[in-house]
Structure 1
């Protein structure tokens, strides 16, 4: 019945439209169109009529336009004369144009982007120009923004490739040197330190990328407590001290005279301060001066990092906190980085209901970054002592561990580390051979790579849990993926803990020591 009503209604409408004369159809389109429609005489250029879309788009009243030319109304901006001449030439030659780009001035004086379609027609022996004009300002802005984002993405990928190649090169060379110095303990120790430093650099890059992803998707949960911001400054300074020392910077720390009370996540506030200090160190030439200061305001606590470095160009200043934005690199590429640090500062500050700002006198004039956080009016706060990494505790007893990883080098080096802690380790490089080993008995603990071929780590964990006594085995997942859904999948498969590669060996040793009690 409803379909019949719909068909009948459509038929009635079509019949009504067919019965209307062309003038009536035109009038309906003329008044309903959101675009500007205007009729003008070709002989003198005067407007004969304009529709409500004209009034809405340009802000001129119909009665003020009729009988005047477009130049007398003033809709043409001074710029773009060549484009208008080409438009007129094409129109007179072809008697029609389609989607011709241009610019118009509104009654308010603003310039908008438009696309014009026009035809020359004869009515009662007189040539008239019918123009239909569409405002494409917002569309053009969106397109330009997409192109800019695409350009910055390409620049970011190029920077990422460069930043990853930097640590990979010394790691590769160190591996070759290790093969040539098996008995030289001093040399092996030096090379191992190089590898550890470079791996740490890569981990920091990956952590920054993951942090940006989590923050932009709203997945960061803050653990907020009452804190004295002054007490967090040493933690931030400790993180950036090696970079400051390497570039021979003078760092001055100026805490506030009274407690700077805030309600915040201590780790994230340290991250904000450390990122600002790192940014200052990267963009301040050797021997420069950096100041970290805390100031108390009426309603806020202000953290500032100022430097006498290369400064910020005026055109970059409004975008300095945008994702992947980075100042021009120096010839020696000393700044480095991926342009993520300041974007994280802004996102994390806003999560704390704060604001962030940047200021600079221009190129060569240094810069000042300021973070303002809501101030707590309380006299006593929790101390912000630095977190210490868990110590590599010796186990109370040796665990029988089944280690499964298809990366042979990763499996063998981890097995060597675990054996050094006193555990008994069986290594398998695929899930099928691990299942064969389980037929002979279950281990005390299993460490499974998630991305195994054929049977992945989660499937292996489910099969182990399904065996008699499988619930008593402790399981730890290893993966290069660290998103929440990956960890939730592993938890449902039966894993007790989830470690993201590269593995924090201190945390692993402490966990195994707990399991061995």
Structure 2
């Protein structure tokens, strides 16, 4: 546009421009000679020279009228105003020169404002006011110029018209520039607004995704209208309200879905927050409208400032926390049962210990002289230590089961063997309570592929449970039948029975008398849980039935049958009589344990030592057949003693090392085996098992000559 205007200016000066062209006079004035002969009558050229000579005075006068602050300042004090004045004067002078050359170009004067020719703070009214004052100063100067010379009226009028048209063009150009600048500002504002809206939409979308993923419902309630606005579908899912019916109001929410016992809790909490303006945070229960399912929810929210009485604006969130609440309740229940278990464990351990301590005291005093009383005290100690051992075994079983470390030693055997052994274990307790223990055996052998010890433990636990929860003189029946490809063993009693609410928890860990609806009658509450786990590990199933309180109960165990084999060896072979006298070395830092074990094995040649160093010295000269080795020795450990004995050239061929330890985990047994032990017995040692092992070693020694 600028290049086209400047080209037009050049054509105007040369007299070749057409009438219909719009002319920009900028630049032409610089090329014309403004100093003509002063004796010539007043002309537009002379007026242009006059304005150029008096520009500084005109600027000072105009600045004084434009602003009171500019009355005492220099021309250069405000570069923007000075630049604007210089631009206007240049355009007027250029216009005068062009019109002098060709009066017909007067109607085509145009102006293009430079980028920063007008002060940015000027409004449109300021523009008109200041241009008017500048135009007035120029007109006064024009009248002064033409008043001193003989000029025609036509030239005078043309001068005023040139100034008028130039300033009109300046005003038009200024307005157009201002409009373009405002349009650019509006465009920038619109772009910023669009970016803000886009960011807001993205934030809202992220919020919707987050609340949806977290299962959070967003809502708003108004106090005056009592209406609600639900921001997402999750509110309908939590409350069960049909979407087509719209959101519930606050009143409907309280009346239709809140659990009646929690209405007052929610109302009082909300009222207190209305007064304190603290955030709302409360958990309560509700009945889902769709299916009347009871759910636990948690509400968070903030109350807006009240506009009037009883008015509020509440924006909140609702989250279904039923699973979390149930988990917390189960955790509290587990913690409660853990405390009960620890208290019961202490009680169960102290009872047999008290009996053993009393028996030991009596044996050391007058009762030890009476053979009958001494025999009775011995039986007491054996029964109570067996009970302690049973409790410890139960605890270890639970530990192995919960950590997944229990291993089954399967073999094929007749299920009747396990039942017979379990009945033998339970019979003394039943006789003591005058209970009838009736067995209905199978007519033929039924073989299972299982761990004999674990199956016996399962039946023994069921019998022990039946004996404890059956009154004195009651009846317990053990029956075995074959159903399809399974053997079904039932243990039924005439005891206290099981209530309906306790039935689902019978096999839970640490559940004792509560599983029967009455106080505990001894035990740790882990026996039935162990039965269930062991049965399922064998591919079987266990179930319980009862017709209610005081109507007895029945436990049923089902195990898969495997084809019977004549060569299937019995899992409970009795110990063979000793065939040879063995040299036995007992190594135990507990003197009482070592000496009592030596007394049990008094049919053999026995030596006892109480440290690893002594064991190595005695073994070198005693040349034992068997070493009963405690693993937890002071100084040299039992593991190291076993390794050194195996390294001894004279002992390693025929020596049998039996580890005797209170550690009985699978990793403990693997470690003792790696050290060179042939067997691993757990304290307190099963005497019958020890005698069986000793008999087998004696047989082997006798056969070897």
State the TM-score, normalized to the length of structure 2.
0.63
Two-structure CA RMSD over aligned residues (Å): 3.5
Q: CA–CA distance in 1 between the matches of 2:473 and 2:610?
A: 51
Q: Quick check: 1:31–1:53 contact (8 Å CA) kept in 2?
A: no
1:108 paired to 2:291: yes
DSSP 3-state at the match of 2:429: helix
Q: CA–CA distance in 2 between the matches of 1:233 and 1:67?
A: 64
> In 2 relative to 1, CA 67–434 (structure 1 residues): closer, same or farther, beyond 3 Å?
closer
What are the residue-to-residue correspondences of 1:280-319 with 2, within 5 Å?
Answer: 280-298=466-484, 300-319=486-505
Instruction: Please say which structure displays the higher CA radius of gyration.
Output: 2
Q: CA–CA distance in 1 between the matches of 2:668 and 2:260?
A: 59
Unaligned runs of 5+ in 2: 1-193
Q: CA–CA distance in 2 between the matches of 1:508 and 1:379?
A: 30
2:598 corresponds to which of 415, 439, 446 = 415
Q: CA–CA distance in 2 between the matches of 1:350 and 1:216?
A: 14
Q: Quick check: 2:586–2:609 contact (8 Å CA) kept in 1?
A: yes
Q: CA–CA distance in 2 between the matches of 1:375 and 1:439?
A: 52
Q: CA–CA distance in 2 between the matches of 1:333 and 1:101?
A: 34
Q: CA–CA distance in 2 between the matches of 1:26 and 1:242?
A: 75
Higher mean C-alpha deviation, range 69-78 or range 126-135 = 69-78
Aligned to 1:11: none
Q: CA–CA distance in 1 between the matches of 2:569 and 2:650?
A: 44
Q: CA–CA distance in 1 between the matches of 2:693 and 2:559?
A: 36
> In 2 relative to 1, CA 511–48 (structure 1 residues): closer, same or farther, beyond 3 Å?
closer
2:302 corresponds to which of 109, 119, 130 = 119
1:368 paired to 2:368: no
Unaligned runs of 5+ in 1: 1-15
What are the residue-to-residue correspondences of 1:32-181 with 2, within 5 Å?
Answer: 32-33=210-211, 34=214, 35-60=216-241, 62-66=243-247, 68-69=249-250, 71=252, 74-106=256-288, 107-121=290-304, 127-180=312-365
Q: Quick check: 2:279–2:303 contact (8 Å CA) kept in 1?
A: no
Q: CA–CA distance in 1 between the matches of 2:675 and 2:455?
A: 35
Aligned to 2:632: 451
Instruction: Determine which structure has the larger strand proportion and give its number.
Output: 1
1:471 paired to 2:656: no
DSSP 3-state at the match of 1:281: helix
Q: CA deviation at 1:231?
A: 6.3
Q: CA deviation at 1:284?
A: 0.9
What are the residue-to-residue correspondences of 1:298-447 with 2, within 5 Å?
Answer: 298=484, 300-327=486-513, 335-374=521-560, 387-391=572-576, 393-394=578-579, 396-399=580-583, 401-418=584-601, 420-425=602-607, 427-435=608-616, 437=618, 443-447=624-628
> In 2 relative to 1, CA 179–391 (structure 1 residues): closer, same or farther, beyond 3 Å?
farther
Higher mean C-alpha deviation, range 43-52 or range 138-147 = 43-52
DSSP 3-state at the match of 1:81: helix
Aligned to 2:423: 237
What are the residue-to-residue correspondences of 1:210-249 with 2, within 5 Å?
Answer: 210-224=396-410, 229=415, 232-249=418-435
DSSP 3-state at the match of 1:80: helix
DSSP 3-state at the match of 1:471: coil
1:29 corresponds to which of 207, 231, 256 = 207
Q: Quick check: 1:349–1:356 contact (8 Å CA) kept in 2?
A: yes
Q: CA–CA distance in 1 between the matches of 2:329 and 2:694?
A: 54
Q: CA deviation at 1:483?
A: 0.6
Q: CA–CA distance in 2 between the matches of 1:329 and 1:68?
A: 45
Q: CA–CA distance in 1 between the matches of 2:436 and 2:233?
A: 66
Aligned to 1:6: none
Which structure is richer in relative contact order (CA contacts within 8 A, separation 6 or more)? 1
Q: CA–CA distance in 1 between the matches of 2:672 and 2:506?
A: 38
State the TM-score, normalized to the length of structure 1.
0.84
Q: CA–CA distance in 1 between the matches of 2:442 and 2:689?
A: 35
DSSP 3-state at the match of 1:481: coil
> In 2 relative to 1, CA 457–19 (structure 1 residues): closer, same or farther, beyond 3 Å?
farther
Q: CA–CA distance in 1 between the matches of 2:511 and 2:678?
A: 40
Q: CA deviation at 1:285?
A: 0.8
> What is the CA deviation profile of residues 259-289 of structure 1, one whole-angstrom value per residue up to 9, with x for unaligned ones?
6665544443333333222211111111112
Q: CA deviation at 1:319?
A: 0.6
> In 2 relative to 1, CA 296–496 (structure 1 residues): closer, same or farther, beyond 3 Å?
closer
How many residues are paired up? Answer: 496
> In 2 relative to 1, CA 102–490 (structure 1 residues): closer, same or farther, beyond 3 Å?
same
Q: CA deviation at 1:369?
A: 1.7
Instruction: Determine which structure has the larger helix proportion and give its number.
Output: 2
1:490 paired to 2:668: no
Q: CA–CA distance in 2 between the matches of 1:258 and 1:467?
A: 52
Q: CA–CA distance in 2 between the matches of 1:321 and 1:31?
A: 43
Q: Quick check: 1:228–1:381 contact (8 Å CA) kept in 2?
A: no
Higher mean C-alpha deviation, range 502-511 or range 100-109 = 502-511
Q: Quick check: 2:588–2:630 contact (8 Å CA) kept in 1?
A: yes
Q: Quick check: 2:285–2:295 contact (8 Å CA) kept in 1?
A: yes
Q: CA–CA distance in 2 between the matches of 1:280 and 1:257?
A: 25
Q: Quick check: 1:251–1:290 contact (8 Å CA) kept in 2?
A: yes
> In 2 relative to 1, CA 441–250 (structure 1 residues): closer, same or farther, beyond 3 Å?
closer
Q: Quick check: 1:262–1:374 contact (8 Å CA) kept in 2?
A: yes
DSSP 3-state at the match of 2:490: strand
Q: CA–CA distance in 2 between the matches of 1:496 and 1:223?
A: 17
> What is the CA deviation profile of residues 407-464 of structure 1, one whole-angstrom value per residue up to 9, with x for unaligned ones?
111122223333x122141x32223444555676764443221112233211332344
Aligned to 1:481: 663
